Amino acid sequence: MSYQNILTNTEDNILTITINREDKMNALNIQLLQEIKDAVTKAQNDNTVRGIIITGAGTKAFAAGADIAEFSNFSVAEGTEMSRAGHEVFFAIERSSKPVIAAVNGFALGGGCELTLACHLRYASENAKFGQPEINLGVPPGYGGTQRLVQIVGKGRALEILLTTNTVDAQKALHIGLVNEVFSSEELISESRKRLSKIISKSPNAIKQVINCVNDHFTSQHNGFETEIKEFGEAFGTSDFKEGTSAFLEKRKANFGL
Ligand code: COA
């Protein structure tokens, strides 16, 4: 797939996906979301990629939501399909075996906020603003916001954000656990890269297993404790386990192939 709406760049084993519709506040049209899904899916089997950063072009917006101009005339069937297709994209991110960081460089509204929620970690610039303004448009969030926001900040705070539609600035987002850390705009990408570089120096197999176990806490089909037992046992059969434990006993740094 050739990309019209995103930029991709792989450097030092980190794939950066930049949402590239700056003149439209990086609004997420349907094609753009498919491009993100394609890039994330391809990264799963790309040995040169060990982690992913998603950010927005420019300094004003990460993504100001789904593209209102695109969906304003959708029928019930089209609206349902839009949401279903979006959910697939966001599940692809959430279930990525390689850690995905949202580097939130401005407005993250509606689908933009939901995109950050599907990522494993969220780092924000000081000018970041989060919000779920969908009910102003006569719809609830359709890309998982009603579920993942509750998981991340709890029911009371999620309902406050969803029902008031008030934006949450970076400091408040940090305070309520919506973001992991806040940086200046200038440092957002470099600090995000630094943190992701540290993560990806660790066992790729164990990283994948942690993500899988944590995700299973939130799925009704799986018991997360059972997933953990299975993943823990399976780790004993991996070369990462041999390397990690040997390195500890030999008093050296483990080398997981970076
Ligand atoms: N969908 C489609 N286009 C969007 C958009 C969206 N979600 N968000 C912004 N844009 C477009 C604007 O229509 C405008 O396009 P134009 O220049 O062709 O008129 C352009 O991006 C710039 O936005 P503008 O509103 O002029 O910038 P601003 O700095 O005054 O305001 C926001 C920024 C983010 C506060 C404002 O754009 C906004 O409220 N966006 C919609 C947020 C929303 O409701 N998201 C949920 C969607 S489900």
Residue 28 Cβ contacting ligand 1 at under 6 Å: no
Residue 256 lies in a domain: no
pLDDT of residue 236: 98
Question: Residue range 103-113: average pLDDT?
Answer: 98
Asked if residue 80 lies in contact with residue 143, where contact means CB atoms within 8 angstroms, the answer is: no
Question: Residue range 142-166: average pLDDT?
Answer: 98
- The neighbour count for residue 18, using CB atoms within 10 Å, is 20
**Are residues 113 and 224 located together in one domain of the fold?**
no
**Are residues 117 and 237 located together in one domain of the fold?**
no
Distance from C-alpha of 258 to C-alpha of 254, rounded to nearest angstrom: 10
Q: For residue 122, what are the domain limits?
A: 6-200
DSSP classification of residue 130: E
Give me the numbers of helices (H) and strands (E) for the chain, helices first please: 11, 10
- Which amino acid, 29? N
Question: Residue range 227-246: average pLDDT?
Answer: 98
Q: Any idea what the CATH number is for the domain that residue 193 is in?
A: 3.90.226.10
Share of the chain above pLDDT 90, in %: 99
Strands in 26-88 per DSSP E: 51-56, 61-63
- From the list 219, 211, 228, 183, the residue with the least C-alpha distance to 100 is 211
Distance from C-alpha of 37 to C-alpha of 43, rounded to nearest angstrom: 10
Tell how far the Cα of 24 is from the centroid of ligand 1, in angstroms.
Answer: 6
pLDDT of residue 144: 98
As given in the structure block, the two tokens for residue 242 are: 């041999």
pLDDT of residue 159: 98
**Are residues 218 and 101 located together in one domain of the fold?**
no
State whether residue 224 is helix, strand or coil: helix
**Are residues 152 and 33 located together in one domain of the fold?**
yes
Share of the chain above pLDDT 70, in %: 100
**Are residues 189 and 227 located together in one domain of the fold?**
no
- Helices 204-217 and 239-249 pack at an angle, to 10 degrees, of 110
**Are residues 128 and 11 located together in one domain of the fold?**
yes
Question: Residue range 6-25: average pLDDT?
Answer: 98
**Are residues 130 and 181 located together in one domain of the fold?**
yes
**Are residues 57 and 165 located together in one domain of the fold?**
yes
pLDDT of residue 215: 98
State whether residue 22 is helix, strand or coil: helix
Pairing of strands 129-131, 107-109: parallel
pLDDT of residue 152: 98
The tens digit of pLDDT for each residue in 58-98 reads 999 999 999 999 999 999 999 999 999 999 999 999 999 99
Residue 257 lies in a domain: no
Asked if residue 114 lies in contact with residue 145, where contact means CB atoms within 8 angstroms, the answer is: yes
**Are residues 127 and 245 located together in one domain of the fold?**
no
**Are residues 167 and 223 located together in one domain of the fold?**
no
Query: In the predicted model, what is the mean pLDDT of the chain?
Result: 98
pTM higher than 0.85? yes
The domain total for the chain is 2
pLDDT of residue 104: 98
Calculated CA dihedral for residues 54, 60, 65, 67, nearest 10 degrees: -110
Q: How confident is the model at residue 190 (pLDDT cuts 50, 70, 90)?
A: very high
Angle (CA) 84-151-215 rounded to 5° is: 70
Q: Which residue's alpha carbon is at the smallest distance from atom 36 of ligand 1?
A: 64
Q: How confident is the model at residue 122 (pLDDT cuts 50, 70, 90)?
A: very high
Residue 168 lies in a domain: yes
Query: Among 20, 24, 29, 74, which residue has the most ligand 1 atoms within 8 Å of its CB, making it the best to mutate?
Result: 24
Residue 30 lies in a domain: yes
Residue 107 Cβ contacting ligand 1 at under 6 Å: yes
- Going from the C-alpha of 74 to that of each of 27, 33, 71, 83, 134, the distances in angstroms are 17, 17, 5, 12, 15
Query: Among 20, 22, 25, which residue has the most ligand 1 atoms within 8 Å of its CB, making it the best to mutate?
Result: 25
Q: Which atom of ligand 1 is nearest to the CA of 139?
A: 48
**Are residues 81 and 126 located together in one domain of the fold?**
yes
Residue 134 Cβ contacting ligand 1 at under 6 Å: yes
- Phi, psi values for residue 182, rounded to 5°: -125, 135
**Are residues 46 and 150 located together in one domain of the fold?**
yes
pLDDT of residue 237: 98
Q: How confident is the model at residue 147 (pLDDT cuts 50, 70, 90)?
A: very high
State whether residue 66 is helix, strand or coil: strand
Residue 258 lies in a domain: no
Residue 254 lies in a domain: no
Q: Which residue's alpha carbon is at the smallest distance from atom 42 of ligand 1?
A: 64
